[in-house]
Amino acid sequence: MTDLKNTLLSIIIPVYNEEENVALLTGQIESALTDYTFEIIYIDDFSTDATVLAVKKMDNKNVHLIELKRNYGQSLALAAGIDYASGEFIITMDGDMQNDPTDIPMMLQKSIDEELDLVTGIRAKRKDSFVKKIPSKIANFIIRKTTKLNVKDQGCALKVFTKETAKELNLYGEMHRFIALLAFLNGARIKEVPVKHHPRKFGVSKYGLGRTIKVINDILLILFQRNYLQKPLYLFGNIGLFLFGLGGVINIYLLIEKIQGHDIWGRPLLILGVLFVLMGVQLFTVGIIIDLQMRTYYETQRQRPYKIRKISVGATAKEK
């Protein structure tokens, strides 16, 4: 049984221009987690206000501050925090006090009781404008339809991970919106619990409607990776071979016509036939190149293409 009181929790909070929030948030976390051992890791994403100063002024030995050299965005800020964290559980939340740290003990308990790799919040009564909710609705819908992951609220930042699950996330770009999906594709056991959500009191939201298109791009990329990262050639190669075959058939048909003395010059079909053959060859070559890239991808990162949940020896196999 995990002894929660002596287990180190790492609370990871990316902050970008949240000067009014950090001290208040730290206070909220401290009073919500009086019975726990924790470190709070603020990652300053190159704020232009006094966020850094506000964190330093707290002079709190439980508070760690990572200052990034430029504004990398929420995903990379999270990644920096996760890499640095040394806790057994990694907890992420926003720095704007929209999440409520009093939900953390309940989420932790659930993670332990049900042996979950990730417990993520559903903002039961989300306190954001209607316009902000549209992109998330679209994203959630696509994800539900295309994967077996049934998470109602992908965007809730409040999450409790086991250390391994967080550390193997490999966040980049703007993937923070799809953390649950990424973890799921890595094989994590995930459940959602309703959490509190408050309106933003200080500072402004860093995102607008412009993210809808990004969200769609990101989902397509993730889905491609899920299905074909191991074998990209199967996607490009199959389409390539199909087009090549189709183009070949068309061209042979035209060749027969030509031999029979018909005029084939200027027929749209000729253009189509040639185009298909060329596209087929191109797609196949692209497939081979991406396949090679994929190998470099895994090897440079010293990653294995498979993920292990647990290794046990002898009697420890039965233990939790």
Q: Which residues bind ligand UDP (CB under 6 A)?
A: 14-16, 18, 45, 71, 73-74, 77, 94-96, 98, 205-207
Instruction: From the list ligand UDP, Mg ion, none, pick the one residue 80 interacts with, judged by a Cβ distance below 5 to 8 Å according to partner type.
Output: none
Closest CB to ligand UDP among 110 and 214? 214
Instruction: From the list Mg ion, ligand UDP, none, pick the one residue 45 interacts with, judged by a Cβ distance below 5 to 8 Å according to partner type.
Output: ligand UDP
Beta carbon of residue 185, minimum distance to ligand UDP (angstroms, whole number): 23
Ranges of beta strands (E only) in the chain are 8-15, 37-44, 63-67, 89-92, 118-123, 159-162, 190-195
Beta carbon of residue 82, minimum distance to Mg ion (angstroms, whole number): 19
Closest CB to Mg ion among 51 and 98? 98
Instruction: From the list Mg ion, ligand UDP, none, pick the one residue 280 interacts with, judged by a Cβ distance below 5 to 8 Å according to partner type.
Output: none
Distances (CA, A) of 184 to 50, 118, 307: 37, 9, 12
Residue located via tokens 């989420």: 107
Closest CB to Mg ion among 96 and 117? 96
Beta carbon of residue 313, minimum distance to ligand UDP (angstroms, whole number): 41
Bridge partner list, 66: 43
Closest CB to Mg ion among 210 and 268? 210
Beta carbon of residue 178, minimum distance to ligand UDP (angstroms, whole number): 14
User: Could you give phi then psi for residue 298, rounded to 5 degrees?
Assistant: -70, -40
Instruction: From the list Mg ion, ligand UDP, none, pick the one residue 77 interacts with, judged by a Cβ distance below 5 to 8 Å according to partner type.
Output: ligand UDP
Instruction: From the list Mg ion, ligand UDP, none, pick the one residue 206 interacts with, judged by a Cβ distance below 5 to 8 Å according to partner type.
Output: ligand UDP
Instruction: From the list Mg ion, ligand UDP, none, pick the one residue 15 interacts with, judged by a Cβ distance below 5 to 8 Å according to partner type.
Output: ligand UDP
Closest CB to Mg ion among 37 and 102? 102
Q: Which element (helix H / strand E) includes 249? A: helix 232-259
Instruction: Enumerate residues 6+ apart whose C-beta is below 8 A from 161.
Output: 89, 90, 91, 92, 117, 118, 183
Q: Please report, as ranges, the residues that interact with Mg ion according to CB under 5 A.
A: 94, 96, 98
Instruction: From the list ligand UDP, Mg ion, none, pick the one residue 144 interacts with, judged by a Cβ distance below 5 to 8 Å according to partner type.
Output: none
Residue ranges of the alpha helices (H) in 114-231? 130-146, 163-167, 179-185, 211-228
Closest CB to ligand UDP among 97 and 143? 97
Beta carbon of residue 193, minimum distance to Mg ion (angstroms, whole number): 19
Closest CB to Mg ion among 45 and 96? 96
Beta carbon of residue 136, minimum distance to Mg ion (angstroms, whole number): 12
Task: Say if residues 39 and 86 touch (Cβ distance below 8 Å).
Answer: yes
Closest CB to ligand UDP among 121 and 232? 121
Beta carbon of residue 81, minimum distance to ligand UDP (angstroms, whole number): 10
Task: Say if residues 83 and 10 touch (Cβ distance below 8 Å).
Answer: no
Instruction: From the list ligand UDP, Mg ion, none, pick the one residue 95 interacts with, judged by a Cβ distance below 5 to 8 Å according to partner type.
Output: ligand UDP
> What DSSP state is assigned to residue 305?
S
| Residue 152 to residue 136: CA distance in whole angstroms | 10
Task: Say if residues 186 and 307 touch (Cβ distance below 8 Å).
Answer: yes
Beta carbon of residue 97, minimum distance to Mg ion (angstroms, whole number): 9
Instruction: State how beta strands 159-162 and 89-92 pair.
Output: antiparallel
Distances (CA, A) of 74 to 155, 158, 171, 210: 12, 14, 10, 16
Task: Say if residues 201 and 127 touch (Cβ distance below 8 Å).
Answer: no
